[in-house]
Structure 1
Amino acid sequence: MIMTMEEIAQMAGVSKSSVSLALSGKPGISEGTRHKIMDIVKKSGYMPRGLVKPDKPNGLNHTIRFIACVNSGIVLEQYATQPFFMELIRDIEEQCRARGYSLFFSSVPTDKFEQAMDTLEAEHESGGMILLGTNLTREQIRYVAQKQPNLVVLDTCFETLNVNFIVMNNVMGAYQAAKQLLAEGHQRIGYVQSHARMYNFDCRKKGFLQALEEAGLTVEETHYITVSPVVFGAQEEFKRSIAELKSPLPTALFCECDYIAISAIKSLAELGIRVPDDMSIIGFDNIQESMIITPELTTVHVEKATIAELAVSQLLSMIDGTGVIKTKSFIDTQLVLRNSSRALEVAAAR
């Protein structure tokens, strides 16, 4: 029999929108409410209309689960509204829809990771899983792989795990950014990094420093600035670090992500430092907001659509039994030149 969302909502004593959020795995309701709704669905033996799928001749489960581990300092509870993840999720949804698969979202709290993973598939079995590995450890990913063999992990990579990983080429992207600043004549370059560390940021630092080393340069110890990676506005921590620097200031800054770069531009404006006239800025990710900030942000473009397409293709090949060999895929980046960086001699002339 088929149960409507209205009937589920009435039984749970919640709104229809709460039921929709619970069934899709999206944030916006408490975990207690989510479990209450899913428990009603499970115990009643009913399935909402949206989950009833026509029989497939090949007998495959045409549901894919997308999981993010939240509340870690990088991936927030509202991760689906963070620009980078929002764009990536949209691309994954489009790929799934085009291939006749449904995509369900689940947010797993960091402090209850294993417990949540144990109950997810029991609530609603999926044919495969795309895991946002941004902030996950090797052990956590290994645990997930034991629960769901049809697994593709995005945004991180552990080379020794027998798991499919897809990640942007972080080393290449930051290397490209450094080479651009060097080509513009900058030699006194600062590095603005996240206080929360992860695979992507560590690889970006490696690529950036490699380019500087090839040019016989380093980043001065006082020119490393540490800030929050998820704040768009001006940051007092950044402003204080710049204000405490002895002259001469860096002529350029590389920021580990666009969030940090946009925050840096706003912070510098409050200090009376003009970008790019007094200081050039380059970010990483090429989120939509990078074209809204003034000046528009020079940044490293991540091929999110390519990552999404490859992730869904790999997962479906595992589901249908053709994808036996696990792979580690690095998607190359492109530097996008806009107005936040400028040749040093042009900046100095103003």
Structure 2
Amino acid sequence: MKMEDIARMAGVSKAAVSLAFSGKPGVAPETRERILQIAQEHNYEFKPRKSVADAASKAITFLVFANSGLVVDSYYQQPFFRELIHFTEERCRALGYSLMFSTISLDKLDEGITSIAESGNSQGVILLGTNLDRMQISDISGKLALPMVVVDNCYETLPIHFVEINNMMGAYEAASHLIGLGHRHIGYISSSDRIHNFEERRRGFAYAMRERGVELDPDCLFTVEPTILVAQETLKNKLDDYLGAGKPMPSAFFCECDYIAISTVKTLAEMGLRVPDDVSVIGFDNIKEARIVTPELTTVHVEKESMAKWAVNALVQEIETGSTIRNKVSVDTQLVVRQSTRAV
């Protein structure tokens, strides 16, 4: 397969394909995603040739280590990551940098880091830390030997720039909203893949419940896949078993992310339960799809644009000044009330 074939399949010019592969500005994020997806589906590998102009250009690498959990090879198709990448690319362009993309399998971490470090194409790295633990991030930082900022995670004891979501605050606000509407029998639907964000959301939710003297029934804790937007048979079966044991349906559910919340709304509908008339549902992330589902989803807004700006600004400052001061930035959330919650 040639670049011309990918251009034809994507409905774009050959030049657009070249820009998408090189990570240079000039193509829209959604177009770049479509081109990269087609290339991946057809096992096409593109290695851009270096030139004097390329060597002199200012570039930042958006680095992702994919696994079989929440962050997979096609992570850029997931709404949260898609929006974060869009804002990151915009901020890079505003500061005179192009944004390149590198996705490496976690089981090839060492080879991937060596390849980036030896290429000399990038002045710094924005690392997606969503699915990485402390030791992995520390290892990546040491081996890259490049200015680096980690987004969507934080480990306070590492001398590295971090930009994370204030997950605890967001879940605290969500629980407070439900309790303020009169809900006392509240269910919690968690992700089967556990990451830093979800653990912090559970802490914030539990803190708000304790503060207001509301107990979370252990039987009302349910676990589902976090990246499915349709009704989940496993959740339906768990709820059927719960109701079959003679227990009352919770009047509201907090879901650890919008994907889970949207899937929950659809699952409840298949069970003949109306949202919010019978059950209220609240999510987390405020992805664009939260406005498309019926009813529109009450959720916690994550300031992805602010996260991107903080990350790029910190990285560029280190690149251009050599600053050795590291920052840990926690970006506050905001509750967005729509139609999926109501008072009891």
Into which bin does the TM-score normalised by the smaller protein fall?
A: 0.7 to 0.9
Which residue matches 2:53? 52
Q: Which is higher, the Rg of structure 1 or of structure 2?
A: 1
User: Structure 2 CA distance, aligned partners of 1:123 and 1:151?
Assistant: 16
Residue 238 of structure 1 aligns with an amino acid whose one-letter code is L
Which residue matches 2:280? 280
Count of aligned pairs:
318
Which residue matches 1:175? 172
User: Structure 2 CA distance, aligned partners of 1:148 and 1:312?
Assistant: 18
Q: Would the alpha carbon gap of residues 203 and 80 (structure 1) be closer, same or farther in structure 2, given more than 3 Å must change?
A: same
Residue 285 of structure 2 aligns with an amino acid whose one-letter code is D
Q: Does 1:129 align with 2:118?
A: no
Matches within 5 A, 1:298-337: 298-321=298-321, 323-337=323-337
Q: What is the Cα deviation at residue 319 of structure 1?
A: 0.2
Deviation per CA, 1:134-169: give whole Å up to 9, x if none.
001112111221113300000011111110000010
Residue 301 of structure 2 aligns with an amino acid whose one-letter code is H
With normalisation by structure 1, the TM-score equals: 0.85
Q: What is the Cα deviation at residue 115 of structure 1?
A: 1.7
Which residue matches 2:84? 88
User: Structure 2 CA distance, aligned partners of 1:175 and 1:254?
Assistant: 11
User: Structure 1 CA distance, aligned partners of 2:218 and 2:120?
Assistant: 51
User: Structure 1 CA distance, aligned partners of 2:307 and 2:156?
Assistant: 18
Q: What is the Cα deviation at residue 54 of structure 1?
A: 9.1
- 1:278 aligned counterpart, secondary structure: coil
User: Structure 1 CA distance, aligned partners of 2:290 and 2:326?
Assistant: 35
Q: What is the Cα deviation at residue 269 of structure 1?
A: 0.3
Which residue matches 2:63? 67
CA contact (8 A) 1:74 1:135 kept: yes
Which residue matches 2:182? 185
Which residue matches 1:296? 296
User: Structure 1 CA distance, aligned partners of 2:44 and 2:145?
Assistant: 25
Residue 63 of structure 1 aligns with an amino acid whose one-letter code is A
Matches within 5 A, 1:196-211: 196-211=193-208
Which residue matches 2:213? 216
Structure 1, gaps ≥5 residues long: 10-14, 56-60, 345-350
Q: What is the Cα deviation at residue 21 of structure 1?
A: 5.0
Structure 2, gaps ≥5 residues long: 8-12, 24-31
Which residue matches 1:237? 234
Residue 190 of structure 1 aligns with an amino acid whose one-letter code is G
User: Structure 2 CA distance, aligned partners of 1:231 and 1:342?
Assistant: 25
Which residue matches 1:347? none
User: Structure 2 CA distance, aligned partners of 1:336 and 1:312?
Assistant: 26
With normalisation by structure 2, the TM-score equals: 0.87
User: Structure 1 CA distance, aligned partners of 2:303 and 2:198?
Assistant: 17
- 1:113 aligned counterpart, secondary structure: helix
CA root-mean-square deviation: 2.3
Which residue matches 2:102? 106
- 1:108 aligned counterpart, secondary structure: strand
